[in-house]
Structure 1
Amino acid sequence: MSVQDHMQRDETRDIARRKAAMAVLAHAAAAEIRACLEGVALPAYEKLREAESGLVMVRGRVGGDGAPFNLGEATVSRAAVRLATGEVGFGYALGRDSEKALMIALCDALVQSSELAEVVEDRVIAPLRAALTADRQQQAARTAATKVDFYTMVRGEG
């Protein structure tokens, strides 16, 4: 296997790690992220883009595969940070939660850091993922409890 193949594999792994972290952070509450980050020794960082709110156009498709159409606008907060070691992180959050966008950006940068990626995975991402999974399972159990089974009896007439 060539050096280029190794580099490409590492890059693919890093992108997958960032995607997985963003999927968890996007669904977590700001207070939960903050609580998990308190256990991590955060390095120095600078705000490249101060957290700000704006609007994005939400697009939809009829039936999931029809022609796209503009559904409406949604409020989004965004932020960008750079760690002292050079990693740049970006954070986006639905709504006007600028603190959450900043914490997501910080976590994104930390996940890219070779020294802190495992620490952030263990102390921030994994606990948030476990809580999210537990919440989804509880919701599924509550929903299943209200399930009604209907059946049709075929009559022997006609």
Structure 2
Amino acid sequence: MSTNSAAPAAVVERQRWMRALALAPTAALDAAWRRLEPKPDVQAIRGPETGLVMVRARVDAGGDRFNMGEATVSRATVRLHGAPLDADVVGTSYLLGTDLEHARLAAVFDGLLADAGLRERLLAEVVGPLEDAQVERDEARRVEARSTLVDFFTISREHA
């Protein structure tokens, strides 16, 4: 996903952590949650729940739009309050798939990251390692895909 260069820095920063949380394995988010002390109280506002969204595309990337198909999405919205937060915050998540616990934990961390007093700590201790792990997973996929590359070439011969 490309970010708009004119977007405010806060929007770009939130897009960064939302991407890391959505792509992270549930186990990694669960481990980060278990390490967090003290834990705020978490109140579910919506979900977690799973539904469908319509994926739209364009002909030749710039032509007419068409409905390509549906994708399963899980979402959650939570309110966090109490220590270590300065004030009540709301966290939200939307991610592909049906993992409701992943959606809940991603919403919790989105709320925690919305708190200015916790943000730098969580960016360093949670988001940074999640991004590093994603880079490693991406590289492993690239290496695996590269190992299956077949180099086809054609030799043209003239027959006399």
TM-score, normalised to structure 1's length?
0.82
How many corresponding residue pairs?
148
Matched residues in 2 for 1:87 and 1:129: separation? 24
Q: Tell me the equivalent position of 2:80.
A: 83
Once the two structures are superposed, what CA deviation does each residue of 1:42-77 show, in whole Å capped at 9, x if it has no partner? 322322213112221111223322211112222221
- How far residue 91 of structure 1 moved from its aligned partner, in angstroms, is 0.8
Matched residues in 2 for 1:18 and 1:95: separation? 21
Matched residues in 2 for 1:37 and 1:124: separation? 9
- Give the unaligned 5+ runs of structure 1: 1-10
| Percent pairwise identity | 37
Once the two structures are superposed, what CA deviation does each residue of 1:21-61 show, in whole Å capped at 9, x if it has no partner? 11111112212211122222232232221311222111122
Q: Tell me the equivalent position of 1:71.
A: 68
Equivalent residue for 2:134, pick from 132, 135, 146: 132
Q: Tell me the equivalent position of 1:152.
A: 154
Question: Is residue 81–residue 105 contact of structure 1 (8 Å, CA) maintained in 2?
Answer: yes
Q: Tell me the equivalent position of 2:33.
A: 37
Report the AA paired with residue 133 of structure 2: A
TM-score, normalised to structure 2's length?
0.81
Equivalent residue for 2:21, pick from 18, 25, 38: 25
- The DSSP-based 3-state class of the residue aligned with 1:116 is helix
Q: Tell me the equivalent position of 2:4.
A: none
- The DSSP-based 3-state class of the residue aligned with 1:151 is coil
Matched residues in 1 for 2:145 and 2:46: separation? 41
Question: Is 1:106 matched up with 2:108?
Answer: yes
Matched residues in 1 for 2:80 and 2:21: separation? 19
Question: Is 1:12 matched up with 2:8?
Answer: yes
Matched residues in 1 for 2:40 and 2:90: separation? 13
Q: Tell me the equivalent position of 1:5.
A: none
Q: Tell me the equivalent position of 1:95.
A: 97
